[in-house]
Structure 1
């Protein structure tokens, strides 16, 4: 929101973030839904709703998905899973 307001005032460029697709991230990391849910800090049923499109992904969750996409082992180590 801050970025959008700054852009509207002419104070900076708009930053467009590419959408993150949880299923693609999970499959790229070679994880099951049951393995992915704890990495995201959520229940398996809630995670499944993301993949089914029944729940929307928040900004912080999208950032964590991008991190998992790039460095899945680092996230596992950081979360001690």
Structure 2
């Protein structure tokens, strides 16, 4: 097999992979979960105070509503600690769908 054939096969395989990724992205955007799993990326940082204030909650109210420690909320807001990956994802869901999170936690 020549070098040009191998290079062409790699390009063809790369193209197929890119197209599959694009098709999965479109399916995901359209709400069709039938495709392969889509990788979720956690935000690098979240503004905990802004998320809380948008819901018009005190630190204590926010902590109680979402099963978090008030000390943790204070530490995050005062940047003594940063939320870990799971917490950043949870906070992002709270930011986008607070009612859904509250319903899910009420059923727990």
Q: Same fold (TM over 0.5)?
A: yes
Whose Rg is larger? 2
> Greater helix share, 1 or 2?
2
Gaps of 5+ in 2: 1-40
**Does 1 or 2 have the higher relative contact order (CA < 8 Å, sep 6+)?**
1
CA RMSD in angstroms, aligned pairs only: 2.0
TM-score of the superposition, structure 2-length normalised?
Answer: 0.54
Gaps of 5+ in 1: 1-14
| Alignment length (residue pairs) | 66
TM-score of the superposition, structure 1-length normalised?
Answer: 0.69
Q: Distance in 2 between matches of 1:66 and 1:16?
A: 9
Q: 1:80 to 1:58 in 2, by over 3 A?
A: same
Consecutive aligned runs of 4 or more in structure 1 exceeding 6 Å deviation: none
